[in-house]
């Protein structure tokens, strides 16, 4: 299918859709200057993720110190990043009444900054902008904890119980959040269109959402700068940058007036 034919097909599907489930991945965040952890030069090329599993975080003070060292390095980049055209396009889908649910694999909060409502977002891998005590569950302000680490509290403890604080992201070996995962798959089953933006579709369980949507009778559009293993399921695939492709898609679908 030629690029223009794919764009027209995707636009036609989006124009007719009433219940759009969106899945976004790292390709959306990188356009806001946030490095993909798995890419060359990313965190996992400099640190061994097998040494930073959840079990090791729980058991080892040394692992917690290293974890917070990495988290303190990455937090300002996430905190200060700004949404791009892809984030704004998803927010536009909510404004025009089409967005059923956004499931994001990203932990940067940029969809909220772009205007997508909290009740329409599932952060399936958690958020780096929050901190939780893994012992008592108490939430903590990330900015305050960040300042504590910079001041020398290299493995900060909970203000309430003295337990172990951790950024509210899902670590290697940590159980996925049950409520959020169930909601994501329910949206995939009940949508009439699934739109995947900037995800390589290799990290599960999120990578299983397109399969679930197609089994439920929904159409699938994939927007990604590289081919994915799910492209054969898609009614249309769009290459190039997430922001540019989503801007073109909304314009072709006649929905660009909602992008304000």
Phi, psi of 197 (to 5 degrees): -125, 120
* Nearest Cα residue to 149 out of 81, 71, 51, 61: 71
| Pairing mode of beta strands 193-197, 121-123 | unpaired
Selected catalytic residue, list 111, 125, 140, 146: 125
60: exposed, middle or buried (Cβ count in 10 Å: 0-12, 13-18, 19+)? middle
| Residue written as token pair 């003295």 | 162
Phi, psi of 35 (to 5 degrees): -65, 145
| Pairing mode of beta strands 165-169, 126-133 | antiparallel
Q: Is 160 a catalytic residue?
A: no
What token pair was written down for 123?
């952060």
Exposure string over 135-144, b if 16+ CB within 10 A, otherwise e: beeeebebee
Residue 163 Cα to chain centre, angstroms: 28
Mention every residue, 6+ apart, whose C-beta is less than 8 A from residue 188. Answer: 21, 194, 209, 210, 212, 213, 216, 218
Annotated active-site positions, please? 125
């Amino acid at each position: 299918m030629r690029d223009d034919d794919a764009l027209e097909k995707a636009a036609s599907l989006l124009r007719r859709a009433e219940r759009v489930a969106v899945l976004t991945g790292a390709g959306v965040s990188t356009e806001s200057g946030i490095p993909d952890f798995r890419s060359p030069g990313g965190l996992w090329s400099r640190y061994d993720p097998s040494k930073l599993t959840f079990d090791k975080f729980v058991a080892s003070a040394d692992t917690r110190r290293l974890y917070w060292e990495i988290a303190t390095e990455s937090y300002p980049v996430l905190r200060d990043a700004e949404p791009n055209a892809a984030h704004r396009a998803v927010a536009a889908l909510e404004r025009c009444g089409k967005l059923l649910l956004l499931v994001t694999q990203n932990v940067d909060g940029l969809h909220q900054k772009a205007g997508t409502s909290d009740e329409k977002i599932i952060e399936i891998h958690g958020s780096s902008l929050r901190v939780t005590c893994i012992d008592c569950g108490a939430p903590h302000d990330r900015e305050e904890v960040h300042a504590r680490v910079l001041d020398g509290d290299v493995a900060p403890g909970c203000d309430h119980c003295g337990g172990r604080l951790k950024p509210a992201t899902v670590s290697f070996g940590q159980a996925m959040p049950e409520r959020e995962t169930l909601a994501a798959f329910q949206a995939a089953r009940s949508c009439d269109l699934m739109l995947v933006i900037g995800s390589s579709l290799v990290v599960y369980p999120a990578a299983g959402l397109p399969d679930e949507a197609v089994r439920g009778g929904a159409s699938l559009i994939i927007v990604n700068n590289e081919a994915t293993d799910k492209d054969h399921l898609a009614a249309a695939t769009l290459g190039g940058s997430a922001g540019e492709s989503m801007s073109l898609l909304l314009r072709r679908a006649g929905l660009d007036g909602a992008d304000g």
